[in-house]
Structures are given as C-alpha cells and as structure tokens.
Structure 1
Amino acid sequence: MNNKNNETEYELLGRANLPKKKNINFFTGILIVIGSSMGAGIFFKSKAVLESNSYSLVFAIISWVIASLAIVMMGVSLLEISTKNKGNLSIVGWNHRFNKWMTYQMSKNFSLYINAALTYFFMPLYAIMSFQDGARIFGFYNFNTKADWAIWTTIILIFNTYFILSSGLSSKWATIQNNVTLIFKFIAIISTIIIGFSIFAFQSKSGNGLDIHWLPKQIDTTNRPSSFLGIAPFGGLFISWAGIFFAYDGFYVSTGIEEELKDKKKTPYVLLMGLSVVTIIHLIIAIAMSINGKGDFKEYAQFLSQRKLGWIYGLTNFSISIGVIGIINGFSLWIPKFIEELIRMKDIPFYKKLANKTNESLPKVGVKYALILIQPTTLLFCIIGSTLYFPYDDPSGYHDLYGSGMSNLYNFADLMSNWISLLAFGFIALAFYGAIFESKKNPKHFPKWFKYVNWFVTIFLLAVVLINFIAPFVDIWLIIYEKNRLTYDVYIQTLRGRILSLIVLTGFILVITLPQFIAKIKGLKRKKTFIENNQC
C-alpha cells in the first residue's frame, strides 16, 4: 500500500520517470557495519580496561578476548534473530518480536529518549577531545575564553544538524561520508598500532624501564577510596567488560541497514563479517595501547615530541576525531528511519499527526522529529555537564588545557556513555532471552546451536549488567564507611562523583520504566470504569 502511495505521489509531482533510490551492495554494507561499530570505544576505553584490571596486561588481554568472543557470538545469534525481525527498529524490533509488551516499551523508551538523544551529546565530545589532543601539538589549546564550553556546544549543535540532515535524507551521501571517515579511522588504527609496538621495541632495545605489569599492580591505597572493583573477586573483569561493550556500541544500530541493502537476505552475513573484522582490529589495538603499561594514546605524545615527531601524534588524533564522526554518520542514517517506523506502528508521541506523512525513501518527518528531540537534549546536557559536573581528577593539569568547562564536559560524557552502553547491551540480552523461549516453542524455525549460543551470551551479558548496576550502590556505602580514613577533599569529590553516577542511572531507569507504568495504570482505570458503566 505504501509503495502505491509513493508511486502516486511521484506522478503528482511529475517525478514518475526519475530513477529509483539506489541501494547499497554487500561490501558497502560491511563497511558501514565496520564504520558504525568501531570508533570511540577502542581509543577512549583501553586505559579504563587496563585500570580496571589493576594494570595487569595479562588480565586486560583476557578481558578483551572474552568480551570480543561474546560479541562475535552475539553476531552469530543475530544471523537468526535479524532474519526473523524485519525493519529498522534494531534492539526495539528484537524485543517487540520476542518479548512481552512491557519489555518492548522499555527498550523503545531507552532507544529513543536516551540512546538516540544522548549519543549526539557524548559522541561529538569524543571527536572534539581527540581534535584538541591533536591540535595542541600545533599550538592550539583552547579558545581562551571564560566559556569555551559554550563555543564548542554551538559547534556540536551545527555538527549534529548537518549529519542528521545529510545522512538521514540520503543513504548515498551517508555511504560517501562513511567511506571517508573509514579511511581516517584506518589511518588512526594503523598509526596507533605502529606507534605502540615501535615504542615498546625502542624502549626494550634501549634498556629503558617499561611500566609493564603482567600481574595486578600493587597500588598505594593510603588516600585512595575503596571500590567494588577492588574488593570483589574478578570485579575488575566485569567492570572492564562494560567499557569494552562501548567499543562495539554502534553495531546494533547498523542492523537497521537492512532496508538499504540490495539483497536483504544477506543482512545477517553483513553483520557477522563486519563484527569479525572489528573484533580482530580491536584486539590488536588493545595490545598495542596496553603493552607500554599505560593503555592511553595520550602517553605517546611526550615520547614522539622529544624526537621531533609530535606531528605524527597530532595527525593521528585528527584521524581518530574524524573516525569517531563515522559512528555519528551511521547513527544519523538509522535514526530517522527508526523514528518513522515507530510512527507507522503508532507507538510514538504525535503519531496521529505524522502517520500519513512518513516516507521510507525520504524520511523527512523522521529527520524533523530527530532534530526536535536531539538538539534541545544536547544543549541541556552540555549546560549541565559544563556548569554542574566536576573535571577529571588530573594532577598533571593536562585536562585544564581543554578550556573552561571542557574537562567537566568530557568527564560527564564518560559517565553518560558508560551507562548508555551498559543499558543497550542489557536490552540486547533481554531480546536474546526472549528468542531462547521462542526457539523452544518453534524449534523447527531455529538451528540446534542457537539455544546454546544464546544461553551463553544472555547469561554473560546479564551478569555484566547486574554487577555493574550493583557496583555504584556498594561504592557509595564504601566511601561513607571510609570517611575518617580519607582526606576531606578526596572524600567529598569521590562521594559527589558516586552520587551523581547513581543519580544518572536512576534517572535513566525512570525514563525507561515510568511512562509504561503510568500507561498501565491509566489502562486499568479505563477498564475499571468501562466495567462499572456496563454493570450499571
């Protein structure tokens, strides 16, 4: 019916003879999956993974290997799940297909109001941070104003508008931009790997001491707050896995490219091939960045600058920045289509006014809806982060060079991205859990291996999510208990950070669940009123 309407519209507009929209091929689809799945996480979370494993290189590598294998197994499961759920809804569609109404609604609220809206807050900030890291090598540190954050916020809003319009309205333009950002992403990857292993080889050959710890490093805890990470057996592994998930945080969005492929039956294989390539690259980069004992690309700046090679560090960071933009590009291709599909399902505010205006080929309504939802949210969180949150705990003063309010914003972006990534994989686990029971009801429609692979993935993901949800509650109890052991400044800043982390998590949970409970209560009241009126 929708195709007929589109044909009639084209005839009325005198465009019936124009060529139809071109879809993307198998190889291009793989490139989009790679471009959407690989970016910020691997460059910004390697240090956190190493720290979570007490700077043990062995444990950090084990963390990456286990998490990467789990992700690939998820990709294998998606071979079946995505073929049984058509459309652009991704996580939401999987929960709609395999779970009950409440789970589906919660996943929809998360994907629309939290994931979609806030990705355009923290992802541009990661791109800007890498740009600033590179620019400082060439003498640019900041705008040197009392409100640098306001200037960067304006740039972010312009940046978001451009990508939502360009990629949202043209898959061809999105593909071109993806290919460009992918080139820079691979430049960043190759540079990082070469630099990491080169520094390791140089330091080893010259006899300079490398700060490598094969086993957990003994850390001075005199004025250091205790945490769940430190007291729980293998707690570091579970905390680090949450960071690794962020490295893959765009792959479930790329499942929405089905409608863009020429051969839609190949969507699962596009996902699997793309994820496998990303996994191999992630493992190599993680080793290259961790083998020098730091896990952070910023640590290479001094080494390269001393040898008059600082420009390599600068250009690599510029490439990382452009590479991160690839994730936003992939997201912008999906978001308008995702919104329009929810409109057609009558499952989004104002759908009655918009249902007849949607267009799968040119999602103008989805683009407008996305801009209205995303831009005010981005502005609000930039204001909150820069003015109310606190900066990185950085005695070196490096983060002060980012400009007024920017260290606060980057710290706030880290907090947002961690929880959003964790919640996203939590809903993926729920979708897989529902698919297991679907396979029991209809075993003929699923291969024999599906149930076993899905059980492993589901248990692994839910365990990681559950332990990371417990951690902030335990951390608050620990910091209160240790009040008299710590200095006042350390105690106050740590307590503040842990409370804010818990507030953010609580806020997310309320946004996810509250609308559905209210709708449920209203539905029960209407049902009760209807029964009472009929009895009369």
Structure 2
Amino acid sequence: KDGNNVEQSLLGLTDLPKSKKINFFTGILIVIGSSMGAGIFFKSQSVLESNNYSLFLAIFSWIIASLAIVLMGISLLDISAKNKGNLSIVGWNHRFNTWMTYQMSKNFTLYINITLTYFFMPLYAIMSFQDGARIFGFYNFNTQADWAIWTIIILVISAYFIVTSGLKAKLATIQNAITLGFKIFALVATIIVGFSIFIIEVKNGNKLDIHWFKKIEISDPTKPMSFSNIMPFGGLFISWAGIFFAYDGFYVSTGISNELKDPKKTPKALLIGLSVVTIIHLIVALAMSLNGRGDFKEYSNFLSKNNLAWIYGLINLSIGIGVIGIINGFSLWIPRFIEELIQMHDVPFYKKLVKKTNQSYPVVGVVYSLVLILPIVLIFCILGATLYYPKEDPSGYYQLYGSGMSSLYNFADLMSNWISLLVFAFMAIAFFGAILESRRTPKKFSKRFKVVNIIVTLFLFVVVFVNFLYPIVDLILIISQKNTLQEEIYQIAFRGRLLSFLTLILFLAIIILPPVFINVFKKKRSKIIKNNQ
C-alpha cells in the first residue's frame, strides 16, 4: 500500500477516482483540518507559565514554534515521498538511519507513544467533559474511588475506537468529520468568549491580570528556583515543546501531495494551510491568555455571574469531543502500523501472526493493539491515581473532579509532556539522517529540502536538548534550596521534579536498552558460531 493511505483514509481521499484530483483550495482545507489539534486548549496555560506570564513572550513562542511546524511540513514532503508504508516516524528512521536508531524509534512508538496516548488523551477528554458537565450539575460520581470508574470508561473508549476505526476506515472518516465539527465550534466559541469578556471588563474599568513583560524574581528565597527563571529566555525553549503538542497531526497533511491536480503546489498549500492554523492557534492562545492565566476555566466565573454558564459547558463538552477525534485518528493508524511491523518480523510473536495479516482489514493489528494497550493503560491509571501526587491547587478546583482524579490528571500531564517531546526528537533524528543522505545523493532531493531541513533539524535538536537539560537543572536547583524553603514547599517541588526526571530516565531505558542488548547478543552469538567453525 501507498505510504499515505492511512492518512488519506482519515482525510476522506481514498475513494477518489484517479481522474478526480482535488483542487488547490480543497488541499488547503485538508491541511487545516488535519493540523488543527485540540492540544491548544491544554497547553496555552503552560506556555504562558513557562514564559513567566509574559504575554509578549508567549505570543513570540507560538509564532516561532508555528513557523518551525510549517518548515517541518515542507521538509516532510521529500522525506515521506521516499518512504513507503504506514510506519510514519519509525519508517523515516528505518529509511534514513542505522538499525539501532530505527529500533529505538520503534520501541518508543510501540511501547511508549502508542500505549500512553490511550492513557492521557482519554483523560484530557474526560477532564473537558467534567468541566462541561459541572455547569449542568454533575461534578463527579461522589465515591471513594471515582478514578476506578473513570478508568473503566477510559478502557471502553480506547477499545471502541481501536476496533471501529481500526477495522473500518470509512467509519473513522465519519467519526473524524463529527469530532472536527465540535473542535471547530470550540475554537470559534473560545475566541468569541475570550475577547468579548476582555472588552466588557475593560469597558467596566475592571483591572485585568495581564503582563506584557513580567519581572523575574530570581532571588525570592520563598519560591523554588527553576531553569526557566535563571536562564535568559529558557522558558521559550520549554514552551516550544508544549506547543508541538498542539499540532498533533500536522505531518498527516503531507498525504495530499499525490491527490492534488498540480502536485507542485503542495508546498504552497502546506504553507498557506499551516499558516492559517498558526493564526487560529495564536488567536485562541491570546483569547485564553487575556485573563492573565491562559486557562479557559478562568472564564467560568464571569459567565456564571451573567447567567451564561451553559456556554462554558457546551464549549468544554465540544473540546472533549475534539480530543476524542484525536483518539479516532490514532486508532485508524495503529493496527496497520503494528501489522507492518509484524510483516517486517519486528515485534514479539510475529512468527504466529505474519501469515494472518491483512492491511485492508487488520484484525490481527486490532487484537495486538488491544492486548498491548489496555493492560498498560489500566496499570498507569492505578499508579497515577493511588501513588502520584495531586496537582498543586490552592483553589481546590481539582478536588471537584472526584477522588484520585487530581493525581491522575497531574500524572497525565507528566506523560504527555515527555512523549510529545520524544516524538519530535525522533523526527529530528530522521531529518538529520535525511540530510546525510541528501549529501550522498543530492539529485534525489529538491533544493528547497536541503535548506529548509537544515534549519528545522537545528531548531529541533536545540529545543530537545534544552528540554532534556531542564529537569536535571531544576532538580539540582531545588536540592540547593533545601535549607531555605519551607518544608512543605520543598517537598512538593522536589517530589515533582524528581518524578519528572525519573520518568525521562525510564523512557530512555525502554527506548535504548533493548536494541543494545540485542546487538550485544548478536555479536556474541556470531563470535561463538565463528569459533566453532
């Protein structure tokens, strides 16, 4: 199958007759639809926080990261064209890099990215549903183990989409169209509400907590020091990793190249489409940041006072459905991804399954996905709810979500931050491998690719390096403040930073150690065979 078939199924392109190509404008709309993620609603606050609540720096962060996404999309035209199949980033590393790099990207995607996406994405959807339902009188289940009930719901959501979208591309397309409609409503409504409240508050003479340039108080001994405070513009690099999360499916849009009437216009369609998404994201981020906090929850009080709480409820319910759309798209791809790895003899139990695979109706991939994903999701839900610490929440808002849910949501944030960063780290490695190949075979790559890819690769490597560095620096800084901070403040900050660092180490161990052991085993085995001959 063509490498873009899964993406084209989700975008509704597979049934097009060969003679019926899409026009330039339709291509732009497809780019916009596939790149406009629901992550904007969950990361605008962290972007503002990373930049010390400076609205100017937050806007600057969005602009730079979004430009990088546009350039990545253009680079991927050359990269995806040279790689057939449904392996995406794993396939790019298989094509352009060493066996070791390919194995590491495969381990990350199969055992971390795929499994934990079904942990934190349903949780983000549930959080939005709870925010919306709260307006209509439903807060939680009011039990001693609300988290257990929500865990069952998470498992049901995951299983439903893996089975339905995994087996039926047409059903995935229908579900995508429905969820996209809700996502667009949430984006438009958020913009209208955010700016309307801002204008009303200004007219009424109410002072808003907005800072264009925030003064950084490094020497305050009562507050934990952080990497983003001591390093000039350090918050920019940290916020960029969060912004990447908002563009959850942007590389899907490269699949329009073969379907355009004039394929040469693909870079232009990508540029315009991704630019429109960037503008939308900027406006939404600004609308959510005009309250000074970057969180749409801040608007609930204003709307409630004016008997408009139902608007807040509908927007949050729509955000939740929009997040479900991300799960839907992911579920279309995963079974086919797994079946391709089975065909490559690159996953456990491939010998028993390889003859049963069928990319057009991937029953094996669906069953494999369910067996792999659901137990891990269950384990992480139990760990997060019972062992992880709740969000730092003086207002008590997160307690309204029910027992164990504050801890679970905090745990989900930790997982999603690292996974988003690692996705782009492996993308950077794939880009670097493509640069090396373009130097060996320059005629096989466009002139545009050589320039753009170098810029993108350098940017990604710097962002990834700084984000790998910051938990180490943060941990060192908090340990140095042990005798100056209040014990409770120190313990909360130390525990959070230690767990963030340990999570990164665990992920890197899962990614790196298996291929290293396999490589060592192969060398020892070949040496034994050679000595016996």
Distance in structure 1 (CA, Å) of the matches to 2:34 and 2:326: 5
Distance in structure 2 (CA, Å) of the matches to 1:277 and 1:334: 26
Q: How does 1:414-453 map to 2 (within 5 A)?
A: 414-453=413-452
TM-fit CA distance, 1:250: 3.0
Partner residue, 2:481:
482
Q: Is 1:200 aligned to residue 159 of structure 2?
A: no
Partner residue, 2:514:
515
Question: Quick check: 23-32 or 82-91, which moved more?
Answer: 23-32
- 1:110-145 residue CA offsets vs partner (Å, 9 max, x unmatched): 111100110000000000000111111111110000
TM-fit CA distance, 1:251: 2.9
Distance in structure 2 (CA, Å) of the matches to 1:240 and 1:289: 16
Percent pairwise identity: 65
Q: Assess, with a 3 A threshold, how the Cα gap between structure 1 residues 273 and 266 changes in structure 2: closer, same or farther.
A: farther
Q: How does 1:455-474 map to 2 (within 5 A)?
A: 455-474=454-473
Distance in structure 2 (CA, Å) of the matches to 1:178 and 1:455: 34
On the 8 A contact 1:32/1:330 being kept in 2, the answer is no
Q: Assess, with a 3 A threshold, how the Cα gap between structure 1 residues 88 and 412 changes in structure 2: closer, same or farther.
A: same
On the 8 A contact 2:100/2:515 being kept in 1, the answer is yes
Partner residue, 1:379:
378
Distance in structure 1 (CA, Å) of the matches to 2:30 and 2:451: 29
On the 8 A contact 1:98/1:434 being kept in 2, the answer is yes
Q: Assess, with a 3 A threshold, how the Cα gap between structure 1 residues 222 and 439 changes in structure 2: closer, same or farther.
A: same
- 1:242-262 residue CA offsets vs partner (Å, 9 max, x unmatched): 11011113334x369689979
Partner residue, 1:57:
55
* Counterpart residue type for residue 509 of structure 1: L
TM-fit CA distance, 1:327: 0.5
- 1:476-534 residue CA offsets vs partner (Å, 9 max, x unmatched): 11111101111111111111111111111111001101110110011011111011011
Partner residue, 1:75:
73
User: Where does structure 2 lack aligned partners over 5 or more consecutive residues?
Assistant: 3-13
Distance in structure 1 (CA, Å) of the matches to 2:258 and 2:398: 41
Q: Assess, with a 3 A threshold, how the Cα gap between structure 1 residues 35 and 335 changes in structure 2: closer, same or farther.
A: farther
User: Where does structure 1 lack aligned partners over 5 or more consecutive residues?
Assistant: 4-20
TM-fit CA distance, 1:351: 1.1
Partner residue, 2:132:
134
On the 8 A contact 2:70/2:270 being kept in 1, the answer is no
Distance in structure 2 (CA, Å) of the matches to 1:422 and 1:250: 14
Q: Assess, with a 3 A threshold, how the Cα gap between structure 1 residues 420 and 345 changes in structure 2: closer, same or farther.
A: same
Partner residue, 1:325:
324
**Aligned match for 2:120, one of 122, 125, 147:** 122
Q: How does 1:4-23 map to 2 (within 5 A)?
A: 22=15
Partner residue, 1:310:
309
TM-fit CA distance, 1:87: 1.3
Distance in structure 2 (CA, Å) of the matches to 1:180 and 1:281: 20
On the 8 A contact 1:89/1:256 being kept in 2, the answer is no
Q: How does 1:95-106 map to 2 (within 5 A)?
A: 95-106=93-104
- 1:250-276 residue CA offsets vs partner (Å, 9 max, x unmatched): 334x36968997999799668666544
Q: Assess, with a 3 A threshold, how the Cα gap between structure 1 residues 341 and 40 changes in structure 2: closer, same or farther.
A: same
Q: Assess, with a 3 A threshold, how the Cα gap between structure 1 residues 353 and 457 changes in structure 2: closer, same or farther.
A: same
Question: Alignment partner of 1:392: what SS?
Answer: coil
Distance in structure 2 (CA, Å) of the matches to 1:346 and 1:26: 37
Partner residue, 1:284:
283
Partner residue, 2:45:
47
Partner residue, 2:8:
none
Distance in structure 1 (CA, Å) of the matches to 2:287 and 2:132: 19
Partner residue, 1:344:
343
Partner residue, 1:8:
none
Distance in structure 2 (CA, Å) of the matches to 1:271 and 1:377: 36
Q: Assess, with a 3 A threshold, how the Cα gap between structure 1 residues 78 and 257 changes in structure 2: closer, same or farther.
A: closer
Partner residue, 1:15:
none
Q: Is 1:408 aligned to residue 391 of structure 2?
A: no
Partner residue, 2:11:
none
* TM-score (normalised: structure 2): 0.92
Q: Assess, with a 3 A threshold, how the Cα gap between structure 1 residues 89 and 38 changes in structure 2: closer, same or farther.
A: same
Q: How does 1:351-370 map to 2 (within 5 A)?
A: 351-370=350-369
Distance in structure 1 (CA, Å) of the matches to 2:255 and 2:382: 34
- 1:150-206 residue CA offsets vs partner (Å, 9 max, x unmatched): 000000101111000111111100000000000000000000000111111111222
TM-fit CA distance, 1:315: 0.4
Q: Is 1:391 aligned to residue 390 of structure 2?
A: yes
TM-fit CA distance, 1:289: 1.3
Distance in structure 1 (CA, Å) of the matches to 2:484 and 2:92: 49
Partner residue, 1:214:
212
Q: Assess, with a 3 A threshold, how the Cα gap between structure 1 residues 384 and 513 changes in structure 2: closer, same or farther.
A: same
TM-fit CA distance, 1:353: 1.0
Partner residue, 2:157:
159
* TM-score (normalised: structure 1): 0.91
Distance in structure 1 (CA, Å) of the matches to 2:412 and 2:258: 31
Distance in structure 1 (CA, Å) of the matches to 2:16 and 2:151: 35
Distance in structure 1 (CA, Å) of the matches to 2:323 and 2:170: 20
What's the Cα RMSD here? 2.4
Distance in structure 2 (CA, Å) of the matches to 1:429 and 1:77: 11
Q: Assess, with a 3 A threshold, how the Cα gap between structure 1 residues 36 and 147 changes in structure 2: closer, same or farther.
A: farther
On the 8 A contact 1:40/1:123 being kept in 2, the answer is no
Partner residue, 2:82:
84
Distance in structure 1 (CA, Å) of the matches to 2:266 and 2:419: 24
